[in-house]
Amino acid sequence: MDIIQLLSDSIANQIAAGEVVQRPASVVKELMENAIDAHAKHIQLIIKEAGKTLIQVIDDGSGMSNTDARMCFERHATSKIRESGDLFAIKTMGFRGEALASIAAVAQVELKTKCAEDELATSIRIEGSEFKSQDFVQGPTGTNFIVKNLFFNVPARRNFLKSNPVEMKHIIEEFQRVALAHPEIKFSLYHNDIEIYNLPESKLSKRIIDTLDKNYRDQLATCQEDTPLIKISGYVGKPQLAAKRRGDQYFFVNHRFIKSSYLNHAVTSAFEATIAQGTHPFYVIFMEIDPSHIDINIHPTKTEIKFDDEKAIYAILRSAVKQAIGVYNLTPTIDFESDINFGNITPPPALKSTKFDFNTSSSISNFESRPKFEKDPLQTDNRDNWQKVFEGLPNRRDHETEDSENQQVIFGSKANKLAETSRLPIDGKEINAIQIHQRYILTQVKSGIMLIDQLYAHERIFYEKYLKEINTQPGVSQQLLFPKTVTLSPIDYEVSFEIIDMIRMIGFNVEEFGQNTYLINGVPIEYMDEDEAVAFKGIIEQYRINENQKDTKEALSKTLAKRAANKSQKTLNKEEISNLINKLFETSMPSINPEGKSTMKILDLSQIGALISN
């Protein structure tokens, strides 16, 4: 019996949309790039509800004919390449012809467009790949794209969207990248009718301070290098601008924003000792290279590219940056009105007041909330003991160490315990406890009070979680929007083979990517809010410090636990405190951290009395 059928276009488009349209910001990126490719001089972005209800891009570019307006929603429909050879000479942002088909598959789309030759504009409505109408209307040359109710027909995806601040942060990031890449184009951005950006056409230096932070004004050093292989231009921040948080770092290759840990390494290493360890230099660097030397086709969202001569580019870039920071002292502050390409060093006129005061680096970073402590239980074996503690520890002495000074409570191994969930009266209940100085938890137990060291308790919890994941039960991996490459030193790369399978087990979705490099596709949830490549590197480096331990699984779990616990040193709400205590007592050894340090101490009433009256 034959059972194979071709998928309908609308299903095929919806599947493709899964890759192209991850969130509102992906739509913003595709529509803005299309406007750039249409040679627009002015691009307006209008957003409502962080793009969940409306994403509108209006451009004054070439526009489309009546037929093209219909055609552009077909899959694999593009005006940008015709034959396979064109793939090696791509000068446009788009070329796959997938974006509009994908967007129209998962949203309600209205397109109004007119090209210069035509009298009338075309207006098309399409919803979930279904054409609703096509009319001739009055309108200016250019294109007006309205995307409403993204994922209206894919509730699972819609529910998966993050809070408005988080989605808006992603949109602003995309907007900033496009705006930085094209200072010659006028851009504006409105969110819920409020103007967020209004960027006039300007020089790159002015575009940088308008877009990112006006405090960068006196901090930029010109970076420039011309070689037959590659032309480099742009700005690096003077060393004192380097920040703890990895913030504004931009590479553009042929005006396309890309991410590259390899090239980032070239820049950072050029700064050498001029910046403190663990700080990150600011840069906006443009590279112009013959498209035949790069492959932008390796990733659907196109933020990773491959150079055919990566090493040469590394060297050229590094030397360009070195020169830039070497001479910045001699160069007067950049003239924001002059063209960067002339390397003009005339003394600066007073900076024209920048209209826009949106201090992105501080306000946006606060948007994203940290991931909540995971709720799924680890193991239930120790809950009986837990209750005993809170009822006054009747059996405590059975398990106690001889060191009564220390009052350390060692609980029996999980093998001795019955995991009877029905006997877990504490489950889900809030525990009366307070947090002290983001480090200790104080709670009442029947015999007196218990003090818990938050850091060590987290270390114990994470340690057992990772150990369990490595041994039996793979951890959950959170897919990254843009996979990241991480290049290790040759030694670290070697070492990584010892533990890479285990790292995968805890939720890092990584693949080998040649030349000491891994491609990170996903990370464990605890690692979502940090730079994935840095975290991955940090794990390998830290593991090498613990390397001579006999049991690799234990060593790695300790490493991971320490990192995760460190990040948990923060103010906890009531629920998180309860969670912490619950989870601690679910571990096999709640009273000590993985290195044997006490996680808690119980003071009974007589001890408290003695403490006070002494």
**Residue ranges binding Mg ion (CB under 5 A):** 34, 94, 99
Per CB under 6 A, does 122 bind ligand ADP?
no
Contact 382, 409 (CB under 8 A): no
Burial class (CB in 10 A: 0-12, 13-18, 19+), 210: buried
268 binds ligand ADP (CB under 6 A): no
Q: In what order do the strands lie in the sheet with 440-445?
A: 433-436, 440-445, 448-453, 600-604
The mark string for 16-35 relative to ligand ADP (x by CB under 6 A, - otherwise) is --------------x---xx
Three-class DSSP category at 513: coil
Minimum Å distance from CB 64 to ligand ADP? 5
**Helix, strand, coil % in the chain, rounded to nearest 5:** 40, 20, 40
60 binds, among ligand ADP, Mg ion, none (CB under 5 to 8 A by kind): none
Nearer to ligand ADP, 178 or 433 (CB): 178
CB atoms within 10 A of CB 75: 17
Contacts of 384 (CB under 8 A, 6+ apart): 417, 418, 423
- Could you tell me the smallest distance in angstroms from the CB atom of residue 203 to ligand ADP? 26
Partner that binds at residue 97, options Mg ion, ligand ADP, none, CB closer than 5 to 8 Å by kind: ligand ADP
Question: Please, which residue, 58 or 600, has the CB nearer to ligand ADP?
Answer: 58
Q: Does 186 engage in binding with ligand ADP (CB under 6 A)?
A: no
SS (H, E, C) 134-182: EEEECCCCEEEEEEECCCCCCHHHHHHCCCHHHHHHHHHHHHHHHHHHC
Cα–Cα dist 227/319, whole Å: 12
Nearer to ligand ADP, 40 or 325 (CB): 40
Q: Residue 270 binds which entry of Mg ion, ligand ADP, none, with Cβ cut-offs from 5 to 8 Å by kind?
A: none
C-beta of 94: minimal distance to Mg ion in Å?
3
| Residue with smaller CB distance to Mg ion, 36 or 285 | 36
**Position 419 contacts ligand ADP (CB under 6 A):** no
174 makes contact with ligand ADP (CB under 6 A) = no
The interface partner of residue 61, options being ligand ADP, Mg ion, none and the CB cut-off 5 to 8 Å by kind, is: ligand ADP
Question: Closest CB to ligand ADP among 34 and 56?
Answer: 34
Task: Report what 80 binds from Mg ion, ligand ADP, none; CB cut-off 5-8 Å by kind.
Answer: ligand ADP
Q: Which two tokens stand for residue 107?
A: 């949203």
- Residues in binding contact with ligand ADP, number by CB under 6 A: 22
Distance CA 250, CA 236 (A): 10
Is there binding between residue 143 and ligand ADP (CB under 6 A)? yes
Q: Of 179, 167, 171, 334, which is closest to residue 257 (Cα–Cα)? A: 179
Tell me the closest approach of the beta carbon of residue 187 to Mg ion, in angstroms: 17
Q: What part of residues 59-118 is at the interface with ligand ADP (CB under 6 A)?
A: 59, 61-64, 72, 77-80, 94-100
Alpha carbons within 13 angstroms on the beta-carbon side of residue 65 total 5
The pairing of strands 477-487 and 517-524 is: antiparallel
Q: Which does 196 bind (CB under 5 to 8 A by kind): Mg ion, ligand ADP, none?
A: none
- Cβ 115 to ligand ADP, closest distance in Å? 8
For ligand ADP, the closer CB: 63 or 507: 63
Torsions phi, psi for 378 (to 5 deg): -85, -75
What minimum distance in Å lies between the beta carbon of 180 and Mg ion? 19
**Residue 170's binding partner out of ligand ADP, Mg ion, none, with CB under 5 to 8 Å set by partner kind:** none
Q: Give the residue with the Cβ less far from ligand ADP, 16 or 313.
A: 16
Residue nearest to ligand ADP (CB): 94
H-helix or E-strand containing 547?
none
Rank residues 78 and 593 by Cβ distance to ligand ADP and give the closer one: 78
State the distance between the two ends of the chain, measured CA to CA, in whole angstroms.
Answer: 89
Residues 6+ apart with CB under 8 A from 498: 552
Query: Which pair of tokens denotes residue 317?
Result: 């870039």
Sign of the dihedral defined by the CA atoms of residues 19, 20, 25, 29, in that order: positive
Q: Which residues would be at the binding site for ligand ADP (CB under 6 A)?
A: 30, 34-35, 38, 59, 61-64, 72, 77-80, 94-100, 143
